[in-house]
Amino acid sequence: MVAHSTDDKEKQQPQDAPLLSIGSVSKFFGALAAVDSLSCELSRGEVLGIGGPNGAGKTTLFDVISGLSPASRGQVLFEGRDITRDSPESICHRGMARTFQLNAGFDTLTAQENVEVSLIYGHTSPIFPGFSIGSEVREKSASVLEMVGLIDHRNALTAELSVLDRKLLMVATAIVTQPRLLLLDEPVGGLTTTEMDAFQKVVHRIKRTGVTIVLIEHVMRFLVSLSDRVLIMHHGQKIYEGSPEELVSDETVVDVYLGKGASERLKPVIAEYSARNEH
Protein backbone atom coordinates (compact mmCIF):
# COMPACT_ATOMS: atom_id res chain seq x y z
CA MET A 1 0.00 0.00 0.00
CA VAL A 2 0.97 3.62 -0.42
CA ALA A 3 2.74 4.92 2.68
CA HIS A 4 1.69 8.15 4.35
CA SER A 5 4.22 10.95 4.10
CA THR A 6 6.07 11.96 7.26
CA ASP A 7 8.22 14.94 8.08
CA ASP A 8 11.66 14.91 9.69
CA LYS A 9 10.25 15.53 13.16
CA GLU A 10 8.01 12.46 12.95
CA LYS A 11 10.86 10.29 11.66
CA GLN A 12 12.84 11.17 14.77
CA GLN A 13 10.09 9.99 17.11
CA PRO A 14 11.28 6.95 19.13
CA GLN A 15 9.15 3.83 18.88
CA ASP A 16 8.25 4.01 22.57
CA ALA A 17 6.96 7.60 22.21
CA PRO A 18 3.16 7.95 22.48
CA LEU A 19 1.38 7.64 19.15
CA LEU A 20 -1.31 10.04 20.38
CA SER A 21 -1.13 12.59 23.18
CA ILE A 22 -4.19 14.49 24.39
CA GLY A 23 -3.19 17.35 26.65
CA SER A 24 -5.78 19.09 28.85
CA VAL A 25 -8.28 19.17 25.99
CA SER A 26 -11.59 20.99 26.45
CA LYS A 27 -14.44 21.50 24.01
CA PHE A 28 -17.08 24.10 24.83
CA PHE A 29 -20.48 24.62 23.27
CA GLY A 30 -21.45 27.92 24.81
CA ALA A 31 -21.13 27.44 28.56
CA LEU A 32 -21.29 23.63 28.27
CA ALA A 33 -17.99 21.76 28.53
CA ALA A 34 -18.62 18.64 26.45
CA VAL A 35 -14.99 17.64 27.08
CA ASP A 36 -13.44 19.10 30.21
CA SER A 37 -9.63 19.27 30.61
CA LEU A 38 -9.08 15.67 29.53
CA SER A 39 -5.57 14.25 29.15
CA CYS A 40 -4.53 10.83 27.87
CA GLU A 41 -1.70 9.13 26.00
CA LEU A 42 -1.93 6.19 23.63
CA SER A 43 0.89 3.74 22.93
CA ARG A 44 1.53 2.14 19.56
CA GLY A 45 -0.31 -1.15 19.05
CA GLU A 46 -2.62 -0.56 22.01
CA VAL A 47 -6.40 -0.90 22.11
CA LEU A 48 -8.01 1.78 24.28
CA GLY A 49 -11.69 1.40 25.10
CA ILE A 50 -13.73 4.48 26.03
CA GLY A 51 -17.03 4.10 27.87
CA GLY A 52 -19.44 6.26 29.80
CA PRO A 53 -23.08 7.36 29.95
CA ASN A 54 -24.83 9.05 27.04
CA GLY A 55 -23.74 12.69 26.87
CA ALA A 56 -20.42 11.99 28.60
CA GLY A 57 -18.48 13.60 25.74
CA LYS A 58 -17.07 10.47 24.08
CA THR A 59 -17.99 11.22 20.47
CA THR A 60 -17.10 14.90 20.95
CA LEU A 61 -13.63 13.74 22.00
CA PHE A 62 -13.38 11.73 18.76
CA ASP A 63 -14.50 14.81 16.82
CA VAL A 64 -11.71 16.83 18.45
CA ILE A 65 -9.05 14.17 17.80
CA SER A 66 -10.06 13.69 14.16
CA GLY A 67 -10.37 17.40 13.40
CA LEU A 68 -14.12 17.58 12.86
CA SER A 69 -14.54 19.94 15.80
CA PRO A 70 -11.27 21.55 16.96
CA ALA A 71 -10.53 21.80 20.66
CA SER A 72 -11.46 24.99 22.48
CA ARG A 73 -8.44 24.51 24.72
CA GLY A 74 -5.57 22.08 24.98
CA GLN A 75 -3.50 20.23 22.45
CA VAL A 76 -3.65 17.01 20.41
CA LEU A 77 -0.36 15.50 19.19
CA PHE A 78 -0.22 12.67 16.66
CA GLU A 79 3.22 11.10 16.28
CA GLY A 80 4.68 14.16 17.98
CA ARG A 81 3.04 16.63 15.59
CA ASP A 82 0.47 19.18 16.75
CA ILE A 83 -2.77 18.41 14.84
CA THR A 84 -5.08 20.45 17.08
CA ARG A 85 -6.05 22.83 14.27
CA ASP A 86 -5.55 20.51 11.29
CA SER A 87 -8.43 19.69 8.94
CA PRO A 88 -10.06 16.24 9.01
CA GLU A 89 -8.71 15.35 5.56
CA SER A 90 -5.19 16.41 6.55
CA ILE A 91 -5.36 14.25 9.69
CA CYS A 92 -6.66 11.33 7.63
CA HIS A 93 -3.83 11.71 5.14
CA ARG A 94 -1.33 11.66 8.02
CA GLY A 95 -2.47 8.20 9.10
CA MET A 96 -5.62 8.44 11.25
CA ALA A 97 -9.01 7.04 10.24
CA ARG A 98 -12.37 6.83 11.99
CA THR A 99 -15.82 5.33 11.72
CA PHE A 100 -19.12 6.82 12.89
CA GLN A 101 -22.14 5.64 14.86
CA LEU A 102 -24.32 5.81 11.76
CA ASN A 103 -23.48 3.45 8.91
CA ALA A 104 -21.99 5.97 6.49
CA GLY A 105 -21.57 4.88 2.89
CA PHE A 106 -22.56 5.64 -0.70
CA ASP A 107 -25.76 3.60 -1.03
CA THR A 108 -25.82 3.62 -4.84
CA LEU A 109 -22.25 2.30 -5.11
CA THR A 110 -21.18 -1.29 -4.59
CA ALA A 111 -19.16 -2.35 -1.55
CA GLN A 112 -16.04 -2.55 -3.72
CA GLU A 113 -16.63 0.91 -5.19
CA ASN A 114 -17.02 2.42 -1.71
CA VAL A 115 -13.63 1.04 -0.68
CA GLU A 116 -12.02 2.17 -3.93
CA VAL A 117 -13.25 5.74 -3.44
CA SER A 118 -11.88 5.73 0.11
CA LEU A 119 -8.51 4.47 -1.09
CA ILE A 120 -8.25 7.11 -3.83
CA TYR A 121 -9.08 10.01 -1.50
CA GLY A 122 -7.63 8.58 1.73
CA HIS A 123 -4.02 9.48 0.96
CA THR A 124 -4.41 12.68 -1.08
CA SER A 125 -7.12 15.03 -2.32
CA PRO A 126 -6.84 14.62 -6.09
CA ILE A 127 -8.34 17.45 -8.12
CA PHE A 128 -8.63 15.17 -11.15
CA PRO A 129 -8.87 11.60 -9.82
CA GLY A 130 -9.25 10.16 -13.32
CA PHE A 131 -12.01 8.49 -15.27
CA SER A 132 -10.98 4.91 -14.52
CA ILE A 133 -9.76 2.94 -11.52
CA GLY A 134 -6.47 1.13 -11.91
CA SER A 135 -5.82 -2.53 -11.17
CA GLU A 136 -3.69 -1.69 -8.11
CA VAL A 137 -6.61 0.15 -6.46
CA ARG A 138 -8.97 -2.72 -7.27
CA GLU A 139 -6.60 -5.31 -5.86
CA LYS A 140 -5.96 -3.40 -2.63
CA SER A 141 -9.68 -2.79 -2.16
CA ALA A 142 -10.48 -6.46 -2.71
CA SER A 143 -7.79 -7.43 -0.18
CA VAL A 144 -9.38 -5.25 2.49
CA LEU A 145 -12.85 -6.62 1.70
CA GLU A 146 -11.40 -10.11 2.16
CA MET A 147 -9.95 -9.06 5.51
CA VAL A 148 -13.29 -7.89 6.90
CA GLY A 149 -15.23 -10.81 5.42
CA LEU A 150 -17.08 -8.94 2.65
CA ILE A 151 -15.37 -10.28 -0.46
CA ASP A 152 -18.45 -12.32 -1.40
CA HIS A 153 -20.53 -9.11 -1.28
CA ARG A 154 -18.09 -6.95 -3.22
CA ASN A 155 -20.56 -6.34 -6.05
CA ALA A 156 -23.61 -5.78 -3.84
CA LEU A 157 -25.06 -2.29 -3.62
CA THR A 158 -24.35 -0.77 -0.23
CA ALA A 159 -28.06 0.00 0.30
CA GLU A 160 -28.78 -3.74 0.10
CA LEU A 161 -26.25 -4.85 2.70
CA SER A 162 -27.24 -6.00 6.19
CA VAL A 163 -26.55 -3.81 9.22
CA LEU A 164 -23.51 -5.91 10.15
CA ASP A 165 -22.12 -5.81 6.61
CA ARG A 166 -22.60 -2.03 6.40
CA LYS A 167 -20.64 -1.65 9.63
CA LEU A 168 -17.90 -3.90 8.29
CA LEU A 169 -17.86 -1.93 5.06
CA MET A 170 -17.36 1.30 6.99
CA VAL A 171 -14.39 -0.31 8.74
CA ALA A 172 -13.04 -1.45 5.37
CA THR A 173 -13.22 2.10 3.97
CA ALA A 174 -11.25 3.26 7.01
CA ILE A 175 -8.48 0.66 7.05
CA VAL A 176 -7.90 0.74 3.29
CA THR A 177 -6.25 4.14 3.89
CA GLN A 178 -3.62 2.22 5.88
CA PRO A 179 -4.04 4.15 9.14
CA ARG A 180 -1.69 3.86 12.06
CA LEU A 181 -4.54 4.93 14.34
CA LEU A 182 -8.15 3.76 13.92
CA LEU A 183 -11.04 5.34 15.84
CA LEU A 184 -14.21 3.21 16.10
CA ASP A 185 -17.34 4.99 17.39
CA GLU A 186 -19.86 2.50 18.85
CA PRO A 187 -19.07 -0.13 16.21
CA VAL A 188 -21.44 -2.84 17.47
CA GLY A 189 -24.51 -0.76 18.32
CA GLY A 190 -27.64 -2.53 17.08
CA LEU A 191 -25.93 -5.89 16.49
CA THR A 192 -26.92 -9.27 17.92
CA THR A 193 -24.54 -11.18 20.18
CA THR A 194 -23.52 -13.45 17.30
CA GLU A 195 -22.88 -10.44 15.06
CA MET A 196 -20.83 -8.77 17.80
CA ASP A 197 -18.64 -11.87 18.03
CA ALA A 198 -18.10 -11.77 14.26
CA PHE A 199 -17.21 -8.08 14.41
CA GLN A 200 -14.84 -8.69 17.31
CA LYS A 201 -12.88 -11.22 15.22
CA VAL A 202 -12.42 -8.56 12.53
CA VAL A 203 -11.09 -6.06 15.10
CA HIS A 204 -8.62 -8.67 16.38
CA ARG A 205 -7.51 -9.21 12.79
CA ILE A 206 -6.91 -5.49 12.35
CA LYS A 207 -5.02 -5.26 15.64
CA ARG A 208 -2.67 -8.05 14.53
CA THR A 209 -1.58 -5.88 11.58
CA GLY A 210 -0.15 -3.37 14.07
CA VAL A 211 -2.89 -0.75 13.88
CA THR A 212 -3.51 1.14 17.13
CA ILE A 213 -7.22 1.29 17.99
CA VAL A 214 -9.44 3.52 20.12
CA LEU A 215 -13.05 2.42 20.40
CA ILE A 216 -16.13 3.93 22.01
CA GLU A 217 -18.74 1.42 23.09
CA HIS A 218 -21.70 1.03 25.45
CA VAL A 219 -21.67 -2.77 25.18
CA MET A 220 -19.26 -3.39 28.01
CA ARG A 221 -18.74 -7.07 27.27
CA PHE A 222 -17.39 -6.08 23.86
CA LEU A 223 -15.37 -3.18 25.27
CA VAL A 224 -13.55 -5.08 28.01
CA SER A 225 -12.93 -8.12 25.79
CA LEU A 226 -10.99 -6.04 23.28
CA SER A 227 -9.32 -3.32 25.33
CA ASP A 228 -5.85 -3.33 26.82
CA ARG A 229 -6.83 -0.22 28.78
CA VAL A 230 -10.18 1.41 29.56
CA LEU A 231 -11.09 5.08 29.99
CA ILE A 232 -14.49 6.04 31.42
CA MET A 233 -15.90 9.55 30.91
CA HIS A 234 -18.67 11.39 32.76
CA HIS A 235 -19.77 15.00 32.17
CA GLY A 236 -16.79 15.50 29.87
CA GLN A 237 -14.25 14.40 32.46
CA LYS A 238 -12.18 11.26 32.91
CA ILE A 239 -13.36 9.37 35.99
CA TYR A 240 -11.36 6.18 35.38
CA GLU A 241 -8.34 5.10 33.39
CA GLY A 242 -6.78 1.72 33.90
CA SER A 243 -7.02 -1.99 33.25
CA PRO A 244 -10.31 -3.81 32.49
CA GLU A 245 -9.65 -5.98 35.56
CA GLU A 246 -9.75 -3.03 37.96
CA LEU A 247 -12.67 -1.34 36.24
CA VAL A 248 -15.39 -3.43 37.88
CA SER A 249 -14.14 -2.70 41.39
CA ASP A 250 -13.79 1.04 40.96
CA GLU A 251 -16.46 2.59 43.19
CA THR A 252 -16.91 5.74 41.11
CA VAL A 253 -17.44 3.77 37.88
CA VAL A 254 -19.88 1.41 39.57
CA ASP A 255 -21.87 4.28 41.10
CA VAL A 256 -21.91 6.53 38.04
CA TYR A 257 -22.05 4.09 35.14
CA LEU A 258 -22.07 0.33 35.58
CA GLY A 259 -24.21 -0.33 38.60
CA LYS A 260 -23.53 -3.31 40.86
CA GLY A 261 -25.42 -5.80 38.70
CA ALA A 262 -23.52 -5.03 35.51
CA SER A 263 -20.26 -4.94 37.44
CA GLU A 264 -20.81 -8.48 38.71
CA ARG A 265 -21.79 -9.75 35.24
CA LEU A 266 -18.61 -8.31 33.74
CA LYS A 267 -16.25 -10.04 36.16
CA PRO A 268 -16.33 -13.48 34.48
CA VAL A 269 -15.99 -11.85 31.04
CA ILE A 270 -12.86 -10.00 32.16
CA ALA A 271 -11.49 -13.11 33.85
CA GLU A 272 -11.91 -15.07 30.60
CA TYR A 273 -10.24 -12.29 28.61
CA SER A 274 -7.30 -12.16 31.05
CA ALA A 275 -6.81 -15.92 30.95
CA ARG A 276 -6.86 -15.92 27.15
CA ASN A 277 -4.24 -13.15 27.00
CA GLU A 278 -1.94 -15.04 29.38
CA HIS A 279 -1.81 -17.86 26.85
pLDDT in tens, 15-37: 678 999 999 999 999 999 999 99
DSSP 71: -
pLDDT in tens, 38-69: 999 999 999 999 999 999 999 999 999 999 99
Nearest of 72, 69, 78 to residue 22 by alpha carbon: 78
Nearest of 187, 206, 205 to residue 196 by alpha carbon: 187
Give me the long-range contacts of 242-250 (CB less than 8 A, separation at least 24). 244/49, 244/270, 244/273, 244/274, 245/270, 245/274
Is the full-model pTM beyond 0.85?
yes
> How far apart are alpha carbons 233 and 256 in whole angstroms?
10
Average pLDDT of the segment spanning 178-201: 96
